[in-house]
Chain A
Amino acid sequence: MKLRKLGLVLGLAAALFASSCPKAEAYYTESSSNSTYIYGKWGVPLKSPDAYDYSRTVDLRSVGGYDLANLIDMCVTDEYIYIVESSLGIIFRFDRTMKYVDCLQEFTMPDGSTSTLLKPEGIYVAPDGKVYIADTGNSRVLVSDWKGEVSLELLKPENLVGTTLSTFLPIRVVADSAGRINVVARNINSGIMQFTSEGYFTGYIGAPSVSVDAFTKLLRMFYTDAQRAAMTTYVPTEYNNIKIDENNFIWGTISALTESDLASTIGSQDLSGAVTPIKKLNMKGSDVLVRQGDYAPVGDLMWSSGPSRIVDVGLGPNNIYSMLDSNRGRIFTYNTNGIMLYTFGGKGTAKGETQTPIAIDYVGDDIFVLDSGLCSVVIFEPTVYGKLLIDAEWYYQEGEYDIANECWRQVTELNSNFAYPYVGLGDAEYNNGNYEEAMAYYQFAEDRTSYSNAKERIRKDTMSVNFPYIVGAVLLFAVLFVGKGIYVKVRRYVKGELMTYGRDEE
């Protein structure tokens, strides 16, 4: 008997210690490249159907009689695709099926002299056909047309302040629809340099505002001027690439981020964008990128060989955007709300893998990745699943919620690991007044805020229907309670009276 009791106690204690917490199971390791995945609510990679398929590789080692070796940037317009070869200093033009058209090598300066490029690194071609070239080796930015007639030569601005820049090394350039020129220069960490269309330097945009806390301000009061000068530090935001979309938002990518900063941003699910490899800048230069996912768009959330190194962003259809990771060759795609849609790609020599991915662009729905290592362009095309995601975004943004929801429903059938569509389905049910169904979807998507809202509506409805009964019940209880009190008092009084009376009689 005693032994059995001991056994029971031991058994219970064993149950206590043996039952461990549910282990976070990594379904995918980062070594399994080239398969599509997304990150779940808990920051763990989850399997996803392939959203993009490898289509073909365009070999660019020999184009138009030139031997290409050092492809560095790509720009896609409605008609053509432009690729910069850095060692030769030539810009090649292809049509949108990557068929070679022609190239641009010689430029005529405004004063009539001819000029060539020296190690150019960036190209941007505006919708009006103006070509903007970051001619890095010559420390200038050229604005010309495709005939090579240079209309503007941007040199190192004379009114450059706040930097000890010796040589001006522009690496990427874009221009907005008003002709304003934005330049990313190497070794400048104050943000993106902005010039007017006439080439006048107006300042930097997109640098983080350095916040000074109260204690530092207090300390500064006691510092000498020399100390104060030494204290001025810049938070490094060295942009490595910029893109511009049709609404004149500038998308900048940053790879100069420390591993620990990124890890803490991911760990704390920080959505403020203080540490971010991507920014969407408005005219004023403030970051307006929407970060509504469980994690900010930073690329991989788990890694063993360093965080993702974002080198370019491709602006896709329906405000979808894809970030290119040069560390592991991944392509991270997010929608307009910052929800990760899919991740694929990898490094290697197999089909659909890249060696040194350096630029990414959307051509229609297809993704073109410029691989400088293999001197080629790798083309991916959307699968049925990928097309569904693109369509769902389209219909949603167009306000066709019913069709969008049909798309999302199909997405959930293809990928049960993807929680985001359930929010959309829940919203649809919510808008139709089916709060119970909406709650079920929200619970599936782990969206507690929306769940709470739906619940509030249900509660309101039940309350308004049952309000008379509730009030009635409360009143009844109150009456009973007070009644009982009065009854007891009266009884006691009467009894007391009687007792006194009786006593008196005695």
Chain B
Amino acid sequence: MKQTWKELKYSLYVTVHPFKGFWDIKYEKEGSLKTAMILLAATILVQIISNLKTGYLFGWVSVNYNFLRTVASSLFLFFSWCLANWCLTCLSDGKGTFKDIMMFTAYSLVPYIILQFVMVILSNIFILREQTFYDMLGTLSFVWVAFLLVTGMLTTHHFTLTRTLVVLAFTIVGMIVIALLIILVFTMFQQVLGFVAAVIDEAVQRVSY
């Protein structure tokens, strides 16, 4: 417990000292998968809070909002990123394991968690005239996370910057491929299930007559 707390505090250190931070997470046992998963959960939680509690002026709350949707899409994004990144870095001599990738990705999300939370509060205080500041915070959180992802990848895989950026681009392509594959599998399952259901239906009809 105390260890987890220490690691969570260290995740804050990582956001401002990414190069040393990510190195320490991987090699100096300053981080763990458990903490990474806590951070992931926090991200999803903040995302849900943001979807529900953002002020009227800045939010577009759908009447039929379903938090499972947020959970699923966040998890999908996270794991497809990790998987695609792992696939590509394996091929391009990356030094990170799947566990390392999950860790650096989750640790990179810390600025997003903090800033999104701040934004939810501010969205209930700000008026339209101050929208610029609100939007700026949003942009800042994304840029920061992107920067952390790049440095995280760089440190974890022992890549050069060019290679990191190339792998990053291909990782995004990989994510799209994964999404397509999942859709494909689903459509196929649907067809198969539909077929089985039809067969059962037919059989029941025949037997009952």
A residues within 8 Å of B by Cβ? 12-17, 19, 22, 443, 448-449, 451-453, 455-456, 459
**In contact, A19 and B69 (Cβ under 8 angstroms):** yes
Give the complex CA separation of A15 and B74 in angstroms: 12
Give the complex CA separation of A14 and B75 in angstroms: 12
Closest chain B residue to A454 by CB distance?
B127
Residue among B68, B125, B127, B128 making CB contact with A15, cutoff 8 Å: B68
Give the complex CA separation of A452 and B123 in angstroms: 11
A interface majority secondary structure: helix
Interface residues on B, range: 20 to 34
**In contact, B64 and A13 (Cβ under 8 angstroms):** no
A-contact bits for B61-93, CB 8 A (1 contact / 0 none) = 011101011011101100000000000000000
Q: Which of B74-131 contact A (CB under 8 A)?
A: 75-76, 125, 127-129
The answer to whether the Cβ of B5 comes within 8 Å of any Cβ in the partner chain is: no
A-B contact pairs, 5 of them (CB 8 A): A13-B76, A15-B66, A451-B56, A451-B57, A455-B57
**In contact, A16 and B69 (Cβ under 8 angstroms):** yes
Residues of chain B lying within 8 A (CB to CB) of residue A16: 69, 72-73, 76
Closest chain A residue to B131 by CB distance?
A452
**In contact, A12 and B125 (Cβ under 8 angstroms):** no
B residues within 8 Å of A by Cβ? 56-57, 62-64, 66, 68-69, 71-73, 75-76, 125, 127-129, 182-183, 186
Given known pairs A449-B128, A451-B57, the reply for A12 and B62 (CB within 8 Å) is: no
Residues of chain A lying within 8 A (CB to CB) of residue B62: 22
Residues of chain B lying within 8 A (CB to CB) of residue A443: 56
Closest chain A residue to B127 by CB distance?
A452
**In contact, B68 and A12 (Cβ under 8 angstroms):** yes
Pick the most buried of A13, A16, A19, A453: most chain B CB atoms within 10 A of its CB: A16
Give the complex CA separation of A54 and B54 in angstroms: 48
Given known pairs A12-B72, A452-B127, the reply for A22 and B57 (CB within 8 Å) is: no
**In contact, A19 and B56 (Cβ under 8 angstroms):** no
Residue among A14, A22, A456 making CB contact with B127, cutoff 8 Å: A456
**In contact, B69 and A455 (Cβ under 8 angstroms):** no
Give the complex CA separation of A14 and B125 in angstroms: 37
Within the complex, the shortest CB–CB distance from A257 to chain B, in Å, comes to 32
Given known pairs A12-B75, A13-B186, A455-B57, the reply for A448 and B128 (CB within 8 Å) is: yes
Residue among B63, B125, B128 making CB contact with A459, cutoff 8 Å: B125
Give the complex CA separation of A459 and B57 in angstroms: 14
Residues of chain A lying within 8 A (CB to CB) of residue B66: 15, 19
Residues of chain A lying within 8 A (CB to CB) of residue B183: 17
Give the complex CA separation of A269 and B183 in angstroms: 35
**In contact, B72 and A13 (Cβ under 8 angstroms):** yes
Residues of chain B lying within 8 A (CB to CB) of residue A453: 127
Within the complex, the shortest CB–CB distance from A416 to chain B, in Å, comes to 15
**In contact, B128 and A452 (Cβ under 8 angstroms):** yes
Residue among B72, B75, B129, B186 making CB contact with A452, cutoff 8 Å: B129
Residues of chain A lying within 8 A (CB to CB) of residue B125: 459
Given known pairs A451-B56, A452-B57, the reply for A459 and B127 (CB within 8 Å) is: yes
**In contact, A12 and B71 (Cβ under 8 angstroms):** yes
The 9 closest A-B pairs by CB, nearest first: A452-B128, A16-B72, A12-B72, A452-B127, A15-B72, A456-B127, A15-B68, A19-B69, A455-B127
Residues of chain A lying within 8 A (CB to CB) of residue B75: 12
Residues of chain B lying within 8 A (CB to CB) of residue A456: 127, 129
Residues of chain B lying within 8 A (CB to CB) of residue A452: 57, 127-129
Residues of chain B lying within 8 A (CB to CB) of residue A448: 56-57, 128
Residues of chain B lying within 8 A (CB to CB) of residue A15: 66, 68-69, 72
Give the complex CA separation of A449 and B71 in angstroms: 33
Give the complex CA separation of A449 and B56 in angstroms: 11
**In contact, A22 and B64 (Cβ under 8 angstroms):** yes
Give the complex CA separation of A13 and B72 in angstroms: 6
Closest chain B residue to A456 by CB distance?
B127
Residues of chain B lying within 8 A (CB to CB) of residue A19: 66, 68-69
Within the complex, the shortest CB–CB distance from B61 to chain A, in Å, comes to 11
Residues of chain A lying within 8 A (CB to CB) of residue B68: 12, 15, 19
Residues of chain A lying within 8 A (CB to CB) of residue B76: 12-13, 16
Within the complex, the shortest CB–CB distance from B189 to chain A, in Å, comes to 8
Closest chain B residue to A448 by CB distance?
B57
Within the complex, the shortest CB–CB distance from B60 to chain A, in Å, comes to 11
Give the complex CA separation of A443 and B59 in angstroms: 12
Residues of chain A lying within 8 A (CB to CB) of residue B73: 16
Residues of chain B lying within 8 A (CB to CB) of residue A14: 186
Closest chain B residue to A16 by CB distance?
B72
Closest chain B residue to A443 by CB distance?
B56
Closest chain B residue to A458 by CB distance?
B127
Residues of chain B lying within 8 A (CB to CB) of residue A22: 62-64
Give the complex CA separation of A63 and B132 in angstroms: 68
Residues of chain B lying within 8 A (CB to CB) of residue A451: 56-57
Within the complex, the shortest CB–CB distance from A223 to chain B, in Å, comes to 43
Give the complex CA separation of A349 and B66 in angstroms: 49
**In contact, B182 and A13 (Cβ under 8 angstroms):** yes
Pick the most buried of B57, B66, B127: most chain A CB atoms within 10 A of its CB: B127
Give the complex CA separation of A12 and B182 in angstroms: 12
Give the complex CA separation of A295 and B73 in angstroms: 34
Within the complex, the shortest CB–CB distance from B8 to chain A, in Å, comes to 22
Pick the most buried of B57, B64, B72, B129: most chain A CB atoms within 10 A of its CB: B72
Within the complex, the shortest CB–CB distance from B45 to chain A, in Å, comes to 16
Residues of chain A lying within 8 A (CB to CB) of residue B128: 448-449, 452
Closest chain B residue to A455 by CB distance?
B127
Task: Please give 12 more A-B residue pairs, beta carbons under 8 A apart, in addition to A17-B186, A448-B57.
Answer: A12-B75, A15-B68, A15-B69, A16-B73, A17-B182, A17-B183, A19-B66, A19-B68, A443-B56, A448-B56, A448-B128, A459-B127
Within the complex, the shortest CB–CB distance from B48 to chain A, in Å, comes to 14
Within the complex, the shortest CB–CB distance from A443 to chain B, in Å, comes to 6
Within the complex, the shortest CB–CB distance from A335 to chain B, in Å, comes to 25
Closest chain B residue to A19 by CB distance?
B69
Within the complex, the shortest CB–CB distance from A419 to chain B, in Å, comes to 15
Give the complex CA separation of A13 and B180 in angstroms: 12
Within the complex, the shortest CB–CB distance from A170 to chain B, in Å, comes to 50
